[in-house]
Structures are given as C-alpha cells and as structure tokens.
Amino acid sequence: MSVKNLFFVALACAGIAFSSCSKEEDEPVVGIVSGSITPLGSPLAYKLEPKGAGVLENTNDSVAWDVTDVALSEATVKLDPTLDATILYNNQPVGAQGVVVNATSAVSFTVKGSTGKTKVYTLNIVRTKSAEIGFKKKASSFNGLPSKIVWMDVTSFKGKFYALVISTKSTASKSPDTTEELYQLFNSVDGLAWSEVPYTVTGANDVIGGEGARLVTFKDKLYVLGGMRTLGKDKFGNPAELEDGWFGPSPVIKQWRSYVSTDGTNFEALLPKTKIKKNGEEINPENMYVYNNPYATLTTFGDKLYVHGGYTIGFGMIQGANNTLSTSDGMTWEVLTTTVVDEAKLTIPTIGTNLFVFKNKLYMVGGFSSYIDPKNMKNGVFSSTDGTTWKLEAETVDGFKNLYQSKVVVNNNIIYLFGGETLGADGETRILSDVVYRSTDAIHWTPLIVPKSFAGTRCASSALMGQAVWFFGGYSSVSSGYYACPTVNDIYGSDTWNAFFK
C-alpha cells in the first residue's frame, strides 16, 4: 500500500473514532437528581439523594427512630429526574404527585432518557440508629380525637395504634336521659394523627366498650373487655345503665361485656358464647356481670390472657374487685383462687396495680387493697408463674412508696413505670406522680430525667411499637372517693409521650 493510501486510511479511522467519541459526548446524562419520602401520616418529608452506583437514600436526613413500619409501608416517594427523562415504578411513570411504595422491602426505580438509555436505582432507607434514654412530649393535644374524653385505652394491632375512646356530647342538661355517650374506635400509624374506625357489631345495634373498658391484642385478634355504660344513651338509643339509689340514679353493671375482631373493624359480641367457671363449676350467665370489672389490669402470658382487679358495683356503690380471671380463647374464662406462698395473711393488690410479664413470670407492682389508706397500700413486689400462686419477691420496692394507678410497659427486660398517684406524708393528701421510673429487676427503680412539662398523670394508656414505648393521656386531676375510681368530673389529659427502650 502506498504512503498516500495509508494516509487516507488513517484519516478515515480517525474520523470514525472522532465521530464515535462525539456521539458519546452528546448522549444526555440520565438519572435522579433529588427526591423525598414521606411516611404515611407524617408531617415530615425526608430528603432522598443518589448515592454510589444506583442507590437512592436519605443518608443526610435519617428517618426518625419512632416512625412505624406501617407508616413506611405506605410512604409517598417524589423524585426529580434529569432533563427529558422519565422515572418508572413497576413500569408505570411516576408523576409530580409521587408514588406510594412499601419502603420496608426492596423498591427500585428505572430512569429512562429520551434516547432510550436507562438507569436503575434501589431505594435504601436510613433510620436514626439511636435515641437518648428519656421521655419526649410528642404532642399536647390529640389530633382527631374527641375533646370531652372520659376514658381511653390504646393498644397496637396489626402494626397500627388503636384507641378505644369514651366521651360525651355536650348538652344543656347533664342528665343521662339527654346526654349521649360515645363509644368510638380510632387508629393511627404514627401515634399522633387519629382517624375514626367505622366499626360494626355483627347482628346487633350495639357499641363496644364503656368507661374503664380495656383494649388488648390477643392471639392476633383485637379484644374489647369490660366497661360501664353509665353516662348517657348510646347512638342507638340504648339508655345508660342506672338504677334507683338512695340519692338518685346510681350506676350499675348489668352484664358481662366482651367483643372481638380479626380486622379492627368488624366486631362480634362474645356474650352468647362466654362461659365463666369457678372451682370447676359454671357461673350462671345471669351472674357473669360480677366479673365485668372496669379499670382492671390485664396482660397476655404464655397462651393465656389474664385480667385482674378493677372495680365492681354493689348496693349502688363502686368498690374494689378482687377477681383474677384467665382465658385461652377469649370465651371460656376461669376464676382463679390466688394465694401468696408462705404469707397466709398477705394478699395481692386489687386496685390500681400493674399486672405485667417480666422474665417469663407474671408480676404485680403498686396499688392497694380494700380502700385508700396507708395501711392498705401494697409496696411489695409479687410474682407468679401461673397467676394463682404468688411469691413475695420483695417486701418493699426500692424507689417509690404508696403508688397506684401508674402504667408499666416492658420490653427487652427493661421496665418503664409512668406516672400514677401517691399518698402524701400525712397519709391523706393525694399527689400526682411526676416521675418516670426504669427497672431491670422489678424491685429497684431509678427515676429518669423528664421534661418539666410532665406534671404527672394517672391511669394513662400505653402501647409498644418497635423499640418505642408510647404513653397517652391519663387523668391530670387527683382521684376522689375511697377507691379512687375515675369519674366524669375527672379531667382527662391530652398529652402524648414516647421514649426509646435502651
């Protein structure tokens, strides 16, 4: 080949190379510039940025530690692509309004440029790794709940918070004949914003719960147990449960009350199926109301649900109940005969105590028996493996004294005790406890540093969600009467607190 021909061949190759290089340089960049993710119900949107090879994450804006998995499972993602590019999720374009994704599992987005070039991004959610031990006020009012709350109980069910809320409608007259008492159910994905659940009771014009009713998750079902209905008629016109007393209408408990739901919306009244046995003999259905004890304490242990204490009504007067019952199916209940080992004259507390599970045992801390008096206060620690035979673990707890109507939550062998009420040094003055305690043995309790805004509360409700413990409401006024039973005149608070278990 001549030198001339070699020159033209080299020139042609250079032209091809130059042309190819120019084409690559002209290819537009395809990718995601920025974005955000907003968990369901959250007022906060967390910033998303591309990181590394095809990763989209919120490295510099970590999701708060107490955001629930349910909130992340229905999170809204909004993304900004490069010029003339389209973002696809499940082969569908993602518009300006964003797309709802389950951020608790693998999520990927595909960016497609105008020339057909694509790039895939995988979503990676970064959570705050830790939080300080201590309590934080999340809200000073309930968003979405009624204003005139008489009673409230909260539990976690299928990844959400559920709240049974009893309240009254304002009327010119406070007479039960004209007052409407509301028995409502709400749920929340973040513990802050609540939505009413339009529940039904199968085959009946009935409502669930009542004053002092308990909401509990047992064997993946939602139960509503106990409660009084004494303040007014319900939405179906059923009257308040009252009878003639010495000084006018007196409250009365007329029946056993329990409901169950598998989905948190459709409930079944269990009264027709309920059987209560004591000493092997079945209680007459007409007398089962005796065990419908409002404001009881309850917990699940093993394959059973235990309910203890609370109140009963006799001769038109509210007084303490000393019943302990257990069930394995929510319908057949056994009344337990309780004893304290080697302490024939000692009894377990019945009113305002905490029944909870800790290190594979049932425990009771706080409360009193009979009526409020220093001599009736239960300052010991009791434990049991079966709910029947109890052992005195310690005659006196280390950390507090004469405490009742507090709230205990347990997780990872750590116990938190929140609020309650105590008797003053004179043995008569009642004082709200503005202390939160922590324990790892149920005997020795250490006070935690809490904000000054925590002025104390009694009969608060609580729920455990992940590593976060939540406390809701409670009465911000001291109790009255011999038995400290909540009344319609008590002031129900609207604070929401949470803390990190550590």
10 within domain boundaries: no
Please determine, for residue 193, whether its predicted confidence score (pLDDT) is greater than 60. yes
Q: 14 falls in which pLDDT band (50, 70, 90)? A: very low
At a CB cut-off of 8 Å and minimum separation 6, what does 482 contact?
319, 371, 372
Domain boundary (85, 101, 124) is at: 124
How many Cβ atoms sit within 10 Å of the Cβ of residue 357? 14
Q: 131 falls in which pLDDT band (50, 70, 90)? A: low
Residues 409 and 422: their CA atoms lie apart, in Å, by 19
Taking residues 184-189, report their average pLDDT. 98
Answer yes or no: do 86 and 105 share one domain. yes
Domain boundary (85, 103, 124) is at: 124
Q: Where are the alpha helices (DSSP H) in 119-243?
A: none
Please determine, for residue 387, whether its predicted confidence score (pLDDT) is greater than 90. yes
Residues 474 and 462: their CA atoms lie apart, in Å, by 10
Domain tally for the chain? Answer: 2
The CATH code of the domain that includes 234 is 2.120.10.80
Residue entry with tokens 């090879």: 53
The CATH code of the domain that includes 116 is 2.60.40.2340
Pick 16 or 116 by higher pLDDT: 116
Instruction: Report which of 287, 351, 274 is spatially closest to residue 319, judged by C-alpha positions.
Output: 351
Answer yes or no: do 173 and 260 share one domain. yes
What's residue 3's pLDDT? Answer: 43
Q: Count CA atoms within 13 Å of residue 240 on its CB side.
A: 20
Answer yes or no: do 87 and 190 share one domain. no
Residues 367 and 334: their CA atoms lie apart, in Å, by 23
pLDDT digits (tens, 9 = 90+) for 74-90: 999 999 999 999 999 99
Please determine, for residue 316, whether its predicted confidence score (pLDDT) is greater than 70. yes
The token pair at 348 is 């377990």
Please determine, for residue 353, whether its predicted confidence score (pLDDT) is greater than 80. yes
Inter-CA distances, 84 with 28, 30, 32, 300, Å = 9, 9, 12, 57
Answer yes or no: do 362 and 465 share one domain. yes
Answer yes or no: do 116 and 253 share one domain. no
pLDDT digits (tens, 9 = 90+) for 443-467: 999 999 889 999 999 999 999 998 8
Taking residues 396-423, report their average pLDDT. 95
At a CB cut-off of 8 Å and minimum separation 6, what does 91 contact?
none
Name residue 178's amino acid: T
Inter-CA distances, 329 with 11, 259, 326, Å = 88, 12, 9
Domain boundary (103, 124, 145) is at: 124
Say whether 405 sits in a helix, a strand or coil. Answer: coil
Taking residues 301-330, report their average pLDDT. 94
Name residue 397's amino acid: V
Q: What is the CA radius of gyration of the chain?
A: 30
What's residue 410's pLDDT? Answer: 95
21 within domain boundaries: no
What's residue 41's pLDDT? Answer: 87
Name the helix (H) or strand (E) containing 138.
strand 135-139
The token pair at 128 is 């705050």
Contact present, 352 and 484 (Cβ < 8 Å) = yes
Taking residues 214-228, report their average pLDDT. 98
Residues 321 and 241: their CA atoms lie apart, in Å, by 19
Instruction: Report which of 229, 225, 235, 233 is spatially closest to residue 196, judged by C-alpha positions.
Output: 235
Say whether 217 sits in a helix, a strand or coil. Answer: strand
Residues 275 and 255: their CA atoms lie apart, in Å, by 13
pTM above 0.85, yes or no: yes
Please determine, for residue 416, whether its predicted confidence score (pLDDT) is greater than 50. yes
Residues 42 and 36: their CA atoms lie apart, in Å, by 13
Cross-strand pairs, 300: 305
Answer yes or no: do 86 and 234 share one domain. no
What's residue 282's pLDDT? Answer: 97
Answer yes or no: do 82 and 171 share one domain. no
Contact present, 181 and 168 (Cβ < 8 Å) = yes
Say whether 137 sits in a helix, a strand or coil. Answer: strand
Q: 344 falls in which pLDDT band (50, 70, 90)? A: low
What's residue 27's pLDDT? Answer: 67
What's residue 17's pLDDT? Answer: 42
3-state SS of 23-41? Answer: HHHHCCCCCEEEEEEECCC
Q: What average pLDDT is seen over the chain?
A: 91
Taking residues 317-342, report their average pLDDT. 95
Residue entry with tokens 């309910």: 307
Residues 11 and 3: their CA atoms lie apart, in Å, by 12
Taking residues 309-320, report their average pLDDT. 89
206 within domain boundaries: yes
3-state SS of 388-402? Answer: CEEEEEECCCECCCC
Taking residues 46-69, report their average pLDDT. 92
Please determine, for residue 15, whether its predicted confidence score (pLDDT) is greater than 80. no
The residue range of the domain holding 139 is: 134-500
Taking residues 366-385, report their average pLDDT. 96
Answer yes or no: do 152 and 289 share one domain. yes
Taking residues 5-29, report their average pLDDT. 49
Answer yes or no: do 119 and 139 share one domain. no
24 within domain boundaries: no
Answer yes or no: do 109 and 162 share one domain. no
Taking residues 82-106, report their average pLDDT. 95
Please determine, for residue 496, whether its predicted confidence score (pLDDT) is greater than 50. yes
Q: 247 falls in which pLDDT band (50, 70, 90)? A: confident
Inter-CA distances, 324 with 318, 348, 349, 387, 450, Å = 18, 10, 11, 8, 34
